[in-house]
Amino acid sequence: MTDLYDSGFQLQASAMIIPKTLMLYASGSKIFGKYGDPSDIALGLNYYPFQRRDLRINLMGLWVDRSPVGYTAYPLPVGGDGFTLVTDFSLAF
C-alpha cells in the first residue's frame, strides 16, 4: 500500500453527578475511510469510592459498527459489530 488517508472525529463529554464520587460520561466517534466508515457510541459511569482518582470502578455500554481497532483493552475484534457491556477496576500507584 502506497497511500492511505482517512478522516474522522471523536466527541467526549462528562459530568460529575455526585461531586468527587460518581461521573457520567458519553463518547462517540466516526471514521470516513477508503475501506469503510466505522463508528462507536459509549455511555458509562465512573465510581470513585474514596473520592480520589487513583481508585476507580467503571461500567460502560459500548455499541460499535465495524470496529477499526481491536486489542486486549478493547472488547471487540477488528471489524466487530454490536453491543457489549464492559466493567473494570483501576488502581493507580
- Condensed to tens digits (0 to 9), the pLDDT of residues 65-76 reads 988 777 766 777
By the 8 A CB rule, do 60 and 42 touch? Answer: yes
d(CA 78, CA 6): 16
User: What mean pLDDT is predicted for residues 52-75?
Assistant: 86
Full-model pTM: 0.83
According to the per-residue pLDDT averaged within each range, which of 35-39, 60-64, 74-78 is highest?
Answer: 60-64
| pLDDT on residue 27 | 95
Q: Which of 49 and 78 is assigned the larger pLDDT?
A: 49
**Vertex 91: Cα angle to 88 and 92 (nearest 5):** 135
Mean pLDDT of the chain: 90
Percentage of residues in the chain having pLDDT higher than 90: 65
Q: Does residue 88 register a pLDDT over 80? A: yes
